[in-house]
Structures are given as C-alpha cells and as structure tokens.
Amino acid sequence: MVQKSPIVEVVKKISPAIVSITISKDLPKIRKYYIQPFDDFLGPYGQPIPQYRREGSQKVKIGGGSGFFVSPEGIILTNRHVIVSPNVDYTITTTDEKEYQAEILARDPINDVAIIKVKKAKGRKFPTLELGDSSKAELGEDVIAIGNALGAFRNTVSTGVVSGLSRFITAHDGFSGQAASLRGLIQTDAAINLGNSGGALIDAWGRLIGINTAIVSRSGGSIGIGFAIPANMALNIARNLINSGGVPRGMLGLFPTNLDRDMADAFGLETTKGALVNQVQQDSPAARAGIQHGDIIIQVDDIEIESAQQLRLRVSQMLPGSEVMVTLIRRGKTMQLPVKLGSLNGVAENTPAMQDSVYAMRLSRVDQDVRKRFSIPDGIAGVLVEEVAADSPFAGKLEQLTVILEVNGQSVDSPAAVEAQLKPGMNRLYIWAGGQKGFIVMRL
C-alpha cells in the first residue's frame, strides 16, 4: 500500500468548508443589426450601417473570490475587497457543486473583512473549519492555502511555510484599483493567485490560521510573497460586526512614528525599537495619562512595541474603556503610566453612510471644537480628514487627521467646498499633516 502525504488527509477534511464566490450583475443585452442606406433615385448604395437595440438584460459575471463557512447556518467569512458592492448578486458554490445565493451581513473596509450568508439552504448544515490560534504561528511552520484560483479553478491547493509575521502593507484591490493599509499580517510563500482572496490559510493539522488576502507581484501572479489576515483578528472582527454592527477600536490619541538609527542615537537609545510620540492630542486618553511628545513607547501591557505601526495595531485591537499600562522611555528613564483607552469608533459598512462624506472620506470643518479636540494650530484653516475608508480613492494618499487647506489652488473651508473643487483627472491638494505643509496630487 502506497503511503500518502498527511497533507492529502488534511485537504480532504477542510475542503467541504471552502466555497467559491461568483459576483454577477444584470446588464443590458444589446443586439447588433444592419440597415441598408437608400437613395431616392438610385436605390440601395454603400455599405450597410450597423445599428444597436437593447433586448432585455443578461446576467454577466464581473468578479469573484473565495470564502469559508464559519457557522453551520451558512455564515461565510471572506475579504471586503471580494464583496465589492451591495448592488450585485453573489453566488456561492460548494465543493459538491451546489449553488446558493448569498447576502451581505457586514463589511469592514479598514481590516478588509466581510461576512456574507447563504439566503436559502433548505435546512442544510454546512461544514466549518477547525479554528487554530494565529498568535502561535511561527516562522517556517508548514501551511496550506486553498481557494478559487483565477475564479475558475475551485479548491486549488498550494503549500508553503510561514515566511514572516506582523507584516504591514498597502494592498491595492485588483478589482477597483483602490488601496488599503493592512497590519499584522502573516506572510507566506504558499501560492496565492487572483481569486484566492478570502480563502483559508491552514496549518499542518487542518486548523484555520488566516484569510488569504494579498500578494506582492509585478505580473499579477504569485511570486511567493503572499499575505493573510490572522484568524484571531478576523474572527474577532466578525463577531463584533455580527453582534453590534461595528468594530470597537481602542485609541490612545497620539501621533507615533518609527525611530531610525540617527533618531535613536539622538535620544540615547541602543535600539530603534519602540514608537516615538510626535504629538499628543489635547484632552485625549494619552494626554490625561501624562504621555508627552518625545516619549518612546516600548510596551503596552505585556506586549513589546517595536514600531509605530505595531502600536497602532495593538491599541486598535483593544476595547475602548479598558485600562492598559503603557511603558515608555522619557529622557533616558523608563516609566509606566496607566491609560484608559478611548474609541476610534470603527463602523461597519452595513450602517448608514457617514455624514459629510466625500469620496468615502469623513471630513469636518475646522471650527473651534475640532481645533481643540485635535490640537490644530490657530493658523491652520481648512477641512479635517477624520477617516479615510479603505475603498476611498484617497486611501494611501491622505492620512487620518490631515487638514486639507486648498484643492486645485482654491482655499476650502467645508466638506462641500472640497467636493466642489475636486474634478475628474489630476487634482492638486495643499495639506497640513504632522506639523508640516505640502502638496499631494491625485488622479480621479
């Protein structure tokens, strides 16, 4: 008897929980026909002229991806960038080739997580994946990626190892071209191709440890650098989206930056690990706790902080209102300060659209209240960027808490003024961020 690889048995176990997602939309059906031109005296002449007529509509596939069941009732976890719009049709195909229509429950654009649910399953109970602990993933650990490669090859299996942990990237959606900043990702060399987005990353025992979500590639195909959202993070987001319609995110209320070697030397530090506090917002949790600009945060509770990105990620994963112990270095001395976290107010996309929204950005007029809350100097007048959704064309261009001073050479003082000055094509924005003024350009 030929002995088979253990991977074969793992794949058999997990495959029934994996689904392919097809996105389609009703589009006009156009029929092409020809008419023959006539001359009143000479009769027919010249070439037939093409004409077009709409004859009903037809369902056209416009995209797709992968997902997996997280409950027997048909709830499916996938990527937000797979679930592109509530105004299209989603068809789920299971490994036994049965098809079901699905509806959107919630989407979180910040972390690229979406939840959909089978509409009518006639009492069927769906198989689910065994959950692993993504916080225990280690470099070199064997992993399996499985999904709907290229939207055509269902249950495509690839294997590899964990190549990196806690990665931070800016991912561009291949469907819309928009960008999102993703944090704390698992890196793997298991092949992830277009259509694999939303599929499962599995450990050698068949346990879920991640959602395949992005690749680095010049061609669009896998070159062995792929990324997955850790399962612990994704499932926590999913629970919050289902239970409360939002994702509670902790907030310190400060602007951190990374330390380079020169900066570390200037502060008398032996390493570049930690997050340097550039600015503290007035009346923020950090300000009330006594954190100051120039402090280097090196630990939050028992979690060591190596970078500004890690600090943002760790704090955003904590519950607003919880008290944490922040360990920092101030003028060469290590000290600890208790901080009661505020809230970033992360809201799911199944809630009403944000007020004063322009191109999926939440904007606010810089009045005295906003100026005080966000420590904006008196000489800065414009419109504050409070939030940039992951599917905004400005994601990756405009940071949160940037002030837009001018759009295409015109001063702006309200969200409506920003919207009025933006135009198709190239736009020029004059902004204030981190105490500095400068220009960015953006093509719409």
State the number of CA atoms in the 13 A half-sphere of 407 facing the CB: 21
Among 20, 66, 112, 316, the active-site one is 112
The DSSP result for 260-299, as a single string, is: -HHHHHHTT-SSS-SEEEEEE-TTSHHHHHT--TT-EEEE
- Residue 401: CB atoms within 10 Å: 18
Q: Are 374 and 273 contacting, i.e. CB atoms less than 8 angstroms apart?
A: no
Tell me the C-alpha distance between 249 and 262, whole Å: 33
Half-sphere exposure of 366 toward its Cβ, with a 13 Å CA cutoff? 23
Structure tokens at 113: 């997580």
Active site residue 219: no
Q: Is 293 a catalytic residue?
A: no
Rounded CA-CA distance 162/212 in Å is 12
Spatial separation of the C-alpha atoms in residues 207 and 135, rounded to whole Å: 13
Say what the alpha-carbon torsion angle 201, 204, 205, 207 is, to the nearest 10 degrees. Answer: -10
172 labelled catalytic: no
Among residues 77, 205, 100, 87, the alpha carbon closest in space to that of 147 is found at: 77
Which of 158, 181, 197, 284 is catalytic? The answer is 197
Beta-carbon neighbour count of residue 38 at 10 Å? 11
* 72 token code pair: 């027997």
Catalytic residue among 81, 108, 173, 181: 81
Residue 137 in tokens:
């993933």
Burial level of 378, CB count in 10 A (0-12/13-18/19+)? Answer: exposed
Residues labelled catalytic: 81, 112, 197
